Amino acid sequence: MNSITFLGTGGGRYIILSQRRYSGGIWLDFGAKIVLDPGPGALIRALQFHREINKLDAVLVSHNHLDHYNDAEVMIEAMTGGMKKKRGALVTTPQTLAYISGYHKSAVEVITPKPNEKFKIEDIRVEALPTCKHENALGFKFFTKEGVVCYASDTDYSKELVRNYMDSKILILNVIFPKGRGIETHLNTDKALKIVKQAKPELAIINHFGVQMLNSNPDNEARYIEDESGVRTIAAKDGMTLNLEELDKVEKQIKLSGF
């Protein structure tokens, strides 16, 4: 089953400190098993949500902010059987690589792609994507058997950037602020709406919520994006798993997961 599990849907320092939403990042099972942006608690949440950490194939880190890279080293240890064997890959930016110990880097293949450069994790093709106004960060595009999955990472909106998200089956956007609020380096609901309208994925998922977004209710913000864009849009939940083969039943999947 090709699936996406949200180990945590919180973003920003205050959510990290309160754990009002978990901050563990995203677990991808596309045949290859990948943990994406493993923030604080990624290991704990992977175990809590019954992910097979010993079968992990890659750790992908979009940039060097704590809520994205904090658990990278411990996930490398999980991937390498406690550093007993060299296996798997660490994919990140050169700036983030400086935050990872030489000991951990020595146990994995290190990949530092440039924007729009392609690489492979096992049999899965991946493309590193540019971001806007978020220094030294990358998004990622995954070419799965079920279609293209894009993770935009932390970014601002730009018309040029949207071209990278076209033809997506799933587009995951880090929307830290609700509509009417925000800063240039991150998306809010208004900017996310512009992206969704132009990219027109089969399913848009908003994720990585800050305090103001949680106070505004992410489900309401997702509903607003869906109503205005005509694109099915949901707000991610901690522990939520989506089966890519049954996206036509996404609402049923969410209900069966207890959300």
User: What amino acid is encoded at 32 in this protein?
Assistant: A
How far is it, in rounded angstroms, from Cα 247 to Cα 255?
Answer: 13
Q: Tokens representing 38?
A: 């493993």
Tell me what pLDDT residue 192 has: 98
Tell me what pLDDT residue 255 has: 63
How far is it, in rounded angstroms, from Cα 55 to Cα 198?
Answer: 37
Per-residue HEC secondary structure of 67-96 comes to HHHCCHHHHHHHHCCCCCCCCCEEECCHHH
| 200-227 average pLDDT score | 98
118-154: per-residue pLDDT in tens? 999 999 999 999 999 988 999 999 999 999 999 999 9
Residues with Cβ within 8 Å of residue 17, at least 6 apart in sequence? none
> Is the predicted pLDDT of residue 225 greater than 70, yes or no?
yes
> Is the predicted pLDDT of residue 256 greater than 70, yes or no?
no
Percent of the chain scored above 90 by pLDDT?
92
Fold classification of 3-241 is Metallo-beta-lactamase; Chain A (3.60.15)
Percent of the chain scored above 70 by pLDDT?
98
Tell me what pLDDT residue 257 has: 65
User: What amino acid is encoded at 3 in this protein?
Assistant: S
How far is it, in rounded angstroms, from Cα 64 to Cα 61?
Answer: 8
Opening angle at CA 135, ends 74 and 203, nearest 5: 75
Q: Tokens representing 246?
A: 């049954």
Higher pLDDT, 50 or 251: 50
Strand pairing report for 58-60 and 32-36: parallel
> Is the predicted pLDDT of residue 1 greater than 90, yes or no?
no
Higher pLDDT, 33 or 249: 33
130 by DSSP, 3-state: which?
A: coil
Tell me what pLDDT residue 48 has: 98
Mean pLDDT of the chain: 95
pTM of the model: 0.96
Tell me what pLDDT residue 246 has: 82
- Sign of the four-CA dihedral 158, 154, 118, 28: negative
Helix axes 218-229, 189-199, angle to 10 degrees: 40
Q: Tokens representing 220?
A: 């309401």
User: What amino acid is encoded at 255 in this protein?
Assistant: K
> Is the predicted pLDDT of residue 226 greater than 70, yes or no?
yes
